[in-house]
Chains A and B, each alone.
Chain A
Amino acid sequence: MKKTIFALAASAAVMLSGQAFAKTKACFIYIGPTGDFGWTYQHDQGRKSIEAALGDQVETAYLENVPESAEAQRPIEAFARSGCDIIFTTSFNYMDPTNKAAKKHPNVKFEHATGFKRESPNVSTYSSKFYQGRYVQGQIAAKMSKTGVAGYIASFPIPEVVRGINSFILGAQSINPDFKLKVVWVSTWFDPPKEADAAKALIDQGVDIVTQHTDSTAAMQVAAERGIKAFGQASDMIKFGPKTQLTAIIDEWGPYYVERTKAVIDGTWKQQDVWHGMADGNVEMAPYTNMPDDVAAMATKTAAAIKDGSLEPFTGPITKQDGSQWLKAGERSDLGTLLGMNFYVKGVDDKLPQ
């Protein structure tokens, strides 16, 4: 009898120690396919850098094309049950499903991208200040545009997208106060033909610079075909418009993903809310191409100023679209207004869908 108990205890000890050496599993929920060459592609590059950096200590898994609805709950929970130690949910509307799943699985760490709800201690949120890059793009657009009107293909009227639009027009107006921006909403993150249609419509309406907040390279190709300039989104799209792309905002998720997964392995993971930007290397600009040297020099200078903190796009004086004053001269926006931005600034030629 004694022997049996001893054997049981020994095997339990072996099992426990086996547990301790088990790989940490990092799992990802994606809104689109990893092959979109935009948003999801960049997140997947981040996942791959976890494998590269942490090697045998980790294993990773991912699910593509998970809809942004209550339906997202099921795959997130399935991941939580299947032994994932940390789950990254990489789109805004996974916010509620992520928080619900986190309550049910307190031992699993959740990281939600671009959201703001952290309802239990095992949920962190993270985002990047893409709007910093938009400001640089706006300045370039104002220098390069002949018609003084740029087109913006937008997905959904959420703060992240609105922030990008506002930052772009503020950048443009810092060069040309009369610069105008036409916005077209496509109500999807990923639908290449539809994104192409939107680009065509904008160009037919007289814009000569196209920028987008959707996930594919379709708009870049249309711009190339029509012989105008465009900005890449989320990844460097220069191959789709060698004579078209001015620059692109590149999302670098890798460092953050490695850091957080490592924290889980080390047992130092804590809830946090981070908003990294150019200064942290999370937002990079693709090389400035297809523009005169002085414009490229200006863009480089602006990006450097944003990086060292001497320039913040949302610094007053800024007037809202309805004519009321938002920020006084020299005043910087508070974080809350930025995170929940639901209004346009002056110069946006569109009515914000609510």
Chain B
Amino acid sequence: MMDVWISIILSVCAASTPLLIAATGELVVERSGVLNLGVEGMMIMGAVAAFATAQVTGNPYLGALVAIITGAAFSLLFAFLTLTLVANQVATGLALTILGLGLSGMIGEGFVGQPGVRMDAIDIPVLTDLPVIGKLFFGQDLIFYASIALVIGVAWFLFRTRAGLMVRSVGDSHSSAHALGIHVIRIRYMTIMFGGACAGLAGAHLSLVYVPQWVEGMTAGRGWIALALVVFASWRPGRVLVGAYLFGAVTIGQFHAQAIGVAIPAQFLTSLPYLATIVVLVLIARNRRLTMINTPASLGQPFVPDR
């Protein structure tokens, strides 16, 4: 019985990890006042890059690294258009998603129908074999541990470091930050690339760990869920963690409910992850003033420095 529970928890971790990574990256981007709707596109570019690299070199870790670089490079396109050329962020983000979905399909065409290289779970002698906790804490894939470290790192960076304060100030009022001598555009370039790198890694998780294969459109909307999580989590890293795991847990849980034969319509159960996540995050974000404080005031607004 215990084994079943551990197996269920491991499935939840797998379902939540890509959402958590992508959402955390986007959180940093939005904290700096930029709305990048291209998460889905960057994610799938990461997925195809990771798969192709792992397939050619046989090394999934190299695949993940290339995915990170690809995500960051792809987001640079968005950064250049919206920051340097001051294009509309919403339209550019949507274009990035559409471009990513199409381009990845083209790049990946030769890889369709090939079983991929799996990034195996780590195996530490003694520790991994510990009962119950062994598998959870010392027996998952490296990207899972990276995702947890990422949330902690981002929370620490945003709220405990000077650089983090600068990012937040740029997001809250880019003109004030600019007046104080903070280089708004440079900071935003960096956060956008960080967001792209995270989305790329999330994609790598999909094509190397979750389902080690390449199929067109395999992100299937996860980039959009990550985007929604950021808003519902009112731009707090801890809440993104809660939201991502809640979504993952309900996704897995409802399949189990169906398999056991719970007498609830399946259509309702499959929509449950979305409903539950919205309800819970709305509840924890009830304190309006706190939400207002956390919302980046310059979100989505273009910035042209006056000289």
Contacts and interface: CB of A to CB of B under 8 A. Distances in A.
Interface residues of A, number: 46
B261 A216 contact: no
A119 interface: no
Interface string A2-28: 000000000000000000000000000
B263 A205 contact: no
Interface stretch (A127-135, A169-177, A195-203, A256-264): A195-203
A21 B229 CA distance: 57
Contact of B259 (A35, A37, A201, A354): A201
Contacts of B4: 204
Interface string B203-221: 0001000111111111011
B211 A193 contact: yes
Given A36-B215, A204-B8, A350 B258 contact: yes
A203 B259 CA distance: 9
Contact of B256 (A190, A205, A240): A205
A65 interface: yes
B258 A349 contact: no
A27 B258 CA distance: 39
Nearest to A219: B211
B15 A197 contact: yes
Contact of A186 (B113, B265, B270): B270
B7 A204 contact: yes
Interface in A212-237: 216-218, 221-222, 225
B112 A197 contact: no
Contacts of B301: none
Given A185-B267, A187-B267, A204-B11, A33 B216 contact: yes
Given A190-B220, A221-B212, A239-B113, A197 B252 contact: yes
A201 B255 CA distance: 6
A190 B217 contact: yes
Nearest to B265: A353
Q: Please classify the interface of chain A as helix (H, G, I), strand (E, B), loop, or mixed, using the class held by over half of its residues.
A: mixed
A350 B109 CA distance: 38
Contacts of A285: none
B161 interface: no
B217 A33 contact: yes
A201 B115 contact: no
A185 B266 contact: yes
A36 B7 CA distance: 28
A221 to B, nearest CB: 6
Q: Please classify the interface of chain B as helix (H, G, I), strand (E, B), loop, or mixed, using the class held by over half of its residues.
A: helix
A182 B255 contact: no
Interface of A: 32-37, 41, 64-65, 151, 157, 182-188, 190-198, 200-202, 204-205, 207, 216-218, 221-222, 225, 239-240, 349-351, 353-354
Interface string B50-81: 00000000000000000000000000000000
12 contacts: A35-B108, A64-B216, A191-B220, A191-B221, A192-B220, A194-B220, A197-B252, A200-B11, A201-B8, A204-B11, A204-B256, A221-B212
Q: Which of A183, A221, A354 has the most CB of B within 10 A?
A: A221
A25 to B, nearest CB: 23
Given A33-B105, A33-B215, A185-B270, A200 B7 contact: yes
Interface in B129-147: none
Given A183-B258, A197-B251, A200-B11, 15 more contacts: A35-B108, A35-B215, A37-B215, A65-B217, A182-B261, A184-B258, A192-B210, A193-B15, A196-B211, A197-B11, A201-B255, A204-B4, A218-B211, A221-B211, A350-B261
A207 B255 CA distance: 13
Contacts of A351: 261, 263
B88 interface: no
Contacts of B206: 192-193
Contact of A353 (B15, B105, B210, B267): B267
B176 interface: no
Nearest to A238: B115
B249 to A, nearest CB: 11
Contacts of B218: 192-193, 216
